[in-house]
Amino acid sequence: MDKHTGDRGAVRGPEPHPGELIVGRDAELARLFRAVDSVSADPVLMLVGDVGTGKSALLEHAVRRAEAGGARVLRAEGSESESSLAFAALHQLLRPVPAEVDGLPGRQRAALHDAFGKGPATPEPDLMLVGVAVLSLLSGLGDHQPVLVVLDDAQWFDRASLDALSFAARRLEGEPVTMLIGARGGDHLPGFDRHVPTLTLEPLDNAAAAQLLRLQPKSPTGHIRSRILDQAGGNPLALVELTRTASAQDTAAGLPSAGPLPLTEHLERIFAARLNGLPAATTRALLLLAAMDSADSAIALSAGLPHAGDEIWPPAERAALVRRTGHDVRFRHPLVRSAVYHAASLGDRREAHLALAEMLRDEPDRSAWHRAAACPHPDAAVSAELERTAGRARRRGGHAAAAQALQRAAELAPQREDSARLLVEAAAAAVFTGDIAWVEELVAAARTRTADATLLASAAVQAGRLAVLTVRHPVVFSRLADAAEELTVSQPAAALDLVAGAAVVRFYSGEDTQRHRIQDILRRLPENAPHAGLRTWVRTVSGPFDDRDQLLSSLPRLIAEAKDRPERLTAVGIMAWLLDETPQAVRAFDEAFDRWQVRGALPEGLGGAVAWAYAERGRWEQAREACARTTAIGRVAGLDHAVACAAAVDATLLAFQGDPSSARTRAEDALTLIDPLESRSVAVYAHRALGAAAAAEGAYETAYGHLRMVFAADGAPMHYHASYPALADLAAAAVRCGRHEEAATIVERSAAALADHASPRLRALISRARGLLADPEDAEPHFRAALADPVLEYWPFERAQTLLDLAEWLRRRRRIAEARGPLTEALEIFRRLGARPWIERARAESRAAGLDATDAAPDALAELSPQQQQIVRLAARGLTNREIGERLFLSPRTVSSHLYRSFPKLGITARSQLRDLVEGTLATAAHQEQGHRRGAGRRSAGWVCRLDPTPPVAQS
């Protein structure tokens, strides 16, 4: 597994370990060896199979192979009883490397310590930072030797650990780290389901099964052999264990006399039979180990279980129930643990859990779960203890663990009202897991336990919070609207909350009938002053151009009220963005991010609003950071719609920056994650991105085809908000592929639909479109109108496009001197943004206009990929590789690799030169362009009219 030397030699053949036969798995073992030898290009490989198919044995061979090659191996084994403890699996994985954890940067180290309950918990820890910390730690270990991460029985990992590990797994490309995951087939493994290469262990074929039987110490013959082959069904563990039992008894009595039994029950009975004759102390120790089911020997020892060298264990080892390795005592197979546990009486199991609860009193979360497992009936004290456990889990960011603890606390609560309250709290915690089915299950259970209107309303709101982020828009909208209508009289505040969620669904779907229903519900709700902000939210989200002026007038008051509430600032920012008040939106988001630094991760904006606002404002680096964060959170939570929203924004920026291939990939990713007919907003954004990618390559017929899909066959917008910004780009593509008439019809229809409600930005875009589509002699007034309002400088890319269009028109009318001013400004903006295709187009036009456009320094940055540009700019500001990695969710090694590849393109040899290069590039470009502008200005003063010097609301 030599990723340092790039060793890609031939794969050595399978090397079975003595005493642990691997039969019929040559191909699978070779695939694992390719992974650990770095012959495979896949840094992550999932091994999937039913119980007993040999996953653990194959992984053990891979571990030996990696260790023989000098790799550092970190491993964790899933534990059913610890699947409710936040970060338990991650803690087990990283327990052997405490020094490396302590060597992480401060924020990352604190995030891991907080996750493991070692430090002062923050109110809302940044879960993405935990993932970055894991990635950084694995990458750092790889600096010294290759690393193999083995996650066995991952179906029993706690959700918080899976989230962190899947986050890191998606970013291991180029790292000297390989991750092998063993999981049961059919089990859902959050974060690892999509795009992870999977090796499935099927049952052994007849020849391999027969060979495995022949290799057993006492190979069965005759009728017994046939029965074993039939009963085992190709399961290696079943073949071995049935053979061992039959051989021990020298008879077929241990097998069913007729007909098959369920394989798991059958094996459990066989394992349980081995308990007969064991010393009482051994049996008790086995039950304690089974009840705890911890694969972490350090925890087992701290709980008071006998040491691996204790004389209690050899009888269990001789009975093939456990395996002792060094300080560890482990069950040979999860079925052994199950057999031991279920073979005990209910009373013995209860005593074992109570004993463990006492042994683990210094670990209150584990102790609480054991007390709960020992409870045959409701118990208020244990329920309260689990509720406290949930609080600790939530403070560490373990939302799944918190929800599980609250759900169990509800089961143990003696009073039905308390049980209902706990279930609603469990639903609130489960919202953050993205598991909509679980949330709905908890809400449904709460409804069966209470008639309290307030609690039921709260339950409906919790279900609605997550439902709006799924792709089931028609179903979710109907459910939210129905619930809101039922609560309009009895619980108007909850009804308004539900309508607010319905408005978000309306935005995603773009369905006009939903807007009418929202308006009808709003009319039936009392207009209470305390809820005015939420009503404004609903009206803005569901129809921002219906009454834009009145909605705008509400923004200053809402901003003042949200001053100390980052989540409200975010909501106001989203409203400002929807109203095309992008400067206000960006200021609100900036302030919210600043205030949220000590309170945890900023929640998602509606449909990628944060990223869109930064993109429109020309802050593309921050827009892509927002996309990266949304993608990370969305993938962890399984929220495909959020991921699709981010992918569409990211695709657009990639196209603008001159990476059309990556832009197409991201846009197509977005379209595969949603139903274009039910999520029109994302579909429109994705087609706008595909249109921009085609335009960047000069494929205007293709660009027009994509942009035409942003509008319906009759020319109406496919989406009431997302379609309109595409009007000018549609016109630009149309004039280059002979579609003037059709495009003009669409533009005028949109202009008529917006009428007096259009924002200054949309009026400018419509004017630009009209200028492009007009006869040459009639175009100038439209271009001038598109540039007249000074507020339009806040949309720099759109302004630069218009400037370039005007300059091209002027030059073609032989007004070359007048063309130089707008041309110079357009080129300056494109260079500052890093819009490579438009830089080249503006440079070509500049040369035609007699301007010197050979400035090499800005083009040096433009030669970098969009991600390299991001990294270079952050490095130039003095951020370390680790800090850049935290921003962009990359490992320090990946950041370093990008910088290493960027230096030759930039003509530098040291990091210290970056700041001078970036600042010098901008200063030189600005100086030259000011000179060009002064020259052009002397020849053509006042090339653009500014009709209204008074700044509008967006500048206040």
Split into its structural domains, the chain has a count of 5
Q: Where residue 595 falls among pLDDT bands split at 50, 70, 90?
A: low
* Least trusted range by pLDDT, from 881-890, 918-927, 942-951: 942-951
The set of residues, in sequence order, having a beta carbon less than 8 Å from that of 581 and lying 6+ positions away, is 552, 555, 759, 953, 954
Provide the CATH number for the domain around residue 941: 1.10.10.10
Domain C-terminal end among 744, 776, 808? 776
Across residues 776-795, what is the average pLDDT? 93
**124 vs 410: which has the higher pLDDT:** 410
**Domain assignment present for 570:** no
**640 vs 707: which has the higher pLDDT:** 707
The sign one gets for the Cα dihedral 788, 790, 791, 794 is positive
Q: Is pLDDT of 600 > 70?
A: no
Provide the CATH number for the domain around residue 69: 3.40.50.300
Q: Is pLDDT of 138 > 90?
A: yes
Does 693 share its domain with 703?
no
Instruction: Collapse the DSSP code of 226 into the 3-class scheme (helix H, G, I; strand E, B; otherwise coil) and give the result.
Output: helix
What is the residue-averaged pLDDT of the chain? 83
Provide the CATH number for the domain around residue 669: 1.25.40
Over residues 222-270, the pLDDT tens digits come to 767 777 887 777 888 888 877 776 766 554 445 544 444 444 566 667 7
The pLDDT assigned to 939 comes to 32
Over residues 55-100, the pLDDT tens digits come to 988 999 999 999 999 999 999 999 887 888 889 999 999 999 999 9
Highest mean pLDDT among 39-43, 193-197, 222-226, 776-780: 776-780
Over residues 361-397, the pLDDT tens digits come to 888 998 999 999 999 899 999 999 999 999 988 887 7
Structure tokens at 11: 């794969």
Q: Is pLDDT of 486 > 80?
A: yes
**Domain assignment present for 265:** no
Q: Where residue 596 falls among pLDDT bands split at 50, 70, 90?
A: low
Q: Is pLDDT of 563 > 90?
A: no
**Domain assignment present for 377:** no
**797 vs 956: which has the higher pLDDT:** 797
The pLDDT assigned to 333 comes to 72
Is residue 841 within 8 A of residue 808, CB to CB? The reply is: no
Q: Is pLDDT of 169 > 80?
A: yes
Q: Is pLDDT of 118 > 90?
A: no
* Least trusted range by pLDDT, from 241-255, 270-284, 473-487: 241-255
The runs of H, that is alpha helices, within 37-145 are 55-68, 88-94, 98-102, 106-115, 127-141
Across residues 147-172, what is the average pLDDT? 91
Task: Report the predicted TM-score, pTM, of the whole model to 2 decimal places.
Answer: 0.74
Across residues 342-355, what is the average pLDDT? 90
Q: Is pLDDT of 324 > 90?
A: no
Q: Is pLDDT of 15 > 50?
A: no
Does 738 share its domain with 863?
no
Q: Where residue 294 falls among pLDDT bands split at 50, 70, 90?
A: low
Does 847 share its domain with 955?
yes
Across residues 572-597, what is the average pLDDT? 87
Does 942 share its domain with 809?
yes
Does 768 share its domain with 710?
yes
CA-CA distance, 55 to 202, in Å (whole number)?
A: 11
The pLDDT assigned to 885 comes to 85
* Least trusted range by pLDDT, from 38-47, 849-858, 940-949: 940-949
The pLDDT assigned to 206 comes to 86
The set of residues, in sequence order, having a beta carbon less than 8 Å from that of 339 and lying 6+ positions away, is 267, 268, 269, 270, 271, 272, 275
Does 620 share its domain with 703?
no
Which residues span the domain enclosing 802?
789-956
What are residue 657's phi and psi, to 5 degrees? -85, 0
CA-CA distance, 645 to 654, in Å (whole number)?
A: 14
DSSP string across 783-823: HHHHHH-GGGGGSHHHHHHHHHHHHHHHHHTT-HHHHHHHH
Q: Is pLDDT of 200 > 70?
A: yes
Q: Is pLDDT of 823 > 90?
A: yes
The pLDDT assigned to 857 comes to 46
CA-CA distance, 261 to 250, in Å (whole number)?
A: 21
**Domain assignment present for 424:** no
Q: Is pLDDT of 948 > 70?
A: no
Does 643 share its domain with 758?
no
**953 vs 514: which has the higher pLDDT:** 514
The pLDDT assigned to 947 comes to 28
Q: Is pLDDT of 925 > 60?
A: no
**Domain assignment present for 222:** yes
**Domain assignment present for 179:** yes
Does 737 share its domain with 883?
no
The pLDDT assigned to 862 comes to 65
CA-CA distance, 371 to 350, in Å (whole number)?
A: 9
Q: Is pLDDT of 598 > 60?
A: no
The pLDDT assigned to 128 comes to 80
Domain C-terminal end among 697, 722, 746? 697
What are residue 199's phi and psi, to 5 degrees? -110, 115
Does 956 share its domain with 832?
yes
Does 254 share its domain with 219?
yes
The amino acid that residue 940 corresponds to is S
Does 880 share its domain with 856?
yes
**555 vs 473: which has the higher pLDDT:** 555
**Domain assignment present for 450:** no
Q: Is pLDDT of 875 > 50?
A: yes
Does 739 share its domain with 756?
yes
**Domain assignment present for 188:** yes
The pLDDT assigned to 291 comes to 87
The pLDDT assigned to 408 comes to 94
Over residues 766-778, the pLDDT tens digits come to 999 999 999 999 9
